[in-house]
A = this chain, B = another copy of it.
């Protein structure tokens, strides 16, 4: 073994690009970073091969974009840092989830096979593919009817984004693809398979996205049979019951993967993880009390607790799902940075950061409540706590003198009101929050959003020092997979203490803003409850839209 600095590589697969970092295992220092956009990006209008239009709410990707980005970014961090691959003691990856694809028994994506390539269901379904709502409805209804014991763990409602909704949509709409798929697999696990040559499955996506638990495993066959006769054996035929935990070693770099990445064959590969979840220890949080907000296009909230509670509208509670020995509670907001970018693009035809910056500047000069605006932040549905992809956005209070910066601020505030609903829901279930630790790209781009988060929730807000917490977290889990003997760490708690830090800024709540924000939050909350009711104008409007779109195909 070399006497040089020991490092690990973490690769974070995001919505638009992949990013690799090379991290000093002892100090957490980032030695190099590289990012690569996916050539085909998010495929949500037309399929690249045929040019065929996709229906509304579809979002696909090309898995070969992942491999291309993986190879390019890992090679780049090695080269840029001048690192000898012998000093790289492990690699870990994390991914958006549930992002899944159908593959053959050797791991070949069906969409790479010419016969299946023109069929949209052969491609990767990205996390924000939302057209499996009928399947999610069926899953929820069936689970409710059958009194499935696992339903409580998921706030009594599962999402159209999750693994079985997406899988069942393939069976419903493209049975030939379902039949041709030897495996249905999370992209996270598929990447680890490409690195090691061996299929493995991680407990984080299994727990949060595929109804699995450490104690009870997957739902029973009779449940899947009740969804569709052909779906009875989905777990045994298309998946695996062998689930590994984050921090374990999934295998080692294969010869083929070494050629792709420049790493040495035999380098340990950590079990895959989810981008948000891997961020928690990278944001220094390994104990109950803090709410971690992973803020980007959407926001994922993660809380740790030593108690097992049912929290209505949460995405899930998974034992050991984030940190071993604790229950990990996940909630989410589906439109955060995405919604700000939508608005920035609306007003400037451009969503560059300087356009954001000028809106943020205008917004930051306003007094709380002075714009007379309030919004419901449901531009991409609502995940927590309503769990309904069909809810839509609302802006109330515009006048002829309303300025873009005022709307921008109202959208920022709306996302924090949504966060406050999540915190209050946790609180009602007995899980308190004493601070917020933010990470992801947004906290670095939008200081106003951080201050609003403190002012509206009444909690102090800290920001993780790393701008790349998912990739850092993956590198940390790679260090744990490598273990102390190879120069890594024995546990994620130990890795977090050595490798993770908070930034210096602390956002404290402005008490003078509180009464106004309490009033605005009460209005938000009433709109939240009335517009999500069964017969609301929002629901009826959606029905009109569905009928209109059926009548006139796009």
Contact = CB atoms under 8 A, between A and B. Distances in A.
A517 to B, nearest CB: 10
Contacts of A544: 369, 372, 516, 519-520, 523
Nearest to A56: B401
Nearest to A545: B372
Given A372-B542, A548-B516, A393 B404 contact: no
B397 A541 contact: yes
Contacts of A56: 401
A372 B541 contact: yes
Contacts of A371: 545
A74 interface: no
A395 interface: yes
A392 to B, nearest CB: 5
Interface string A521-548: 0110011000000000110111011011
A113 interface: no
Contacts of A519: 540, 544
A11 interface: no
Interface stretch (A88-96, A319-327, A334-342, A501-509): A334-342
Nearest to A128: B400
Chain copies in complex = 2
A369 B545 contact: yes
Nearest to A554: B370
Interface string A100-127: 0000000000000000000000000000
A347 B350 CA distance: 10
Nearest to A395: B395
Contacts of A251: none
Nearest to A520: B544
A538 B397 CA distance: 7
B542 A523 contact: no
Contacts of A516: 544, 547-548
A160 to B, nearest CB: 14
Interface string A160-180: 000000000000000000000
A551 B512 CA distance: 11
A526 B541 CA distance: 12
A370 B400 contact: no
B399 A380 contact: yes
B542 A397 contact: yes
Interface in A379-395: 379-380, 392-395
B400 A392 contact: no
A53 interface: no
Contact of A537 (B368, B369, B374, B407): B374
A307 interface: no
A49 interface: no
A402 B346 CA distance: 9
Contacts of A228: none
A396 interface: yes
B400 A372 contact: no
A1 interface: no
A369 B545 CA distance: 5
A222 interface: no
Contacts of A394: 394-398
Nearest to A531: B396
A541 B400 contact: no
A244 B98 CA distance: 76
22 contacts: A56-B401, A335-B400, A346-B404, A346-B407, A367-B548, A367-B551, A369-B547, A370-B549, A370-B552, A372-B544, A372-B545, A374-B537, A379-B400, A379-B402, A393-B398, A394-B394, A394-B396, A396-B538, A397-B538, A519-B544, A520-B541, A526-B537
List 6 A-B pairs, minimum CB-CB distance, nearest first.
A369-B548, A372-B545, A393-B398, A367-B552, A370-B548, A369-B544
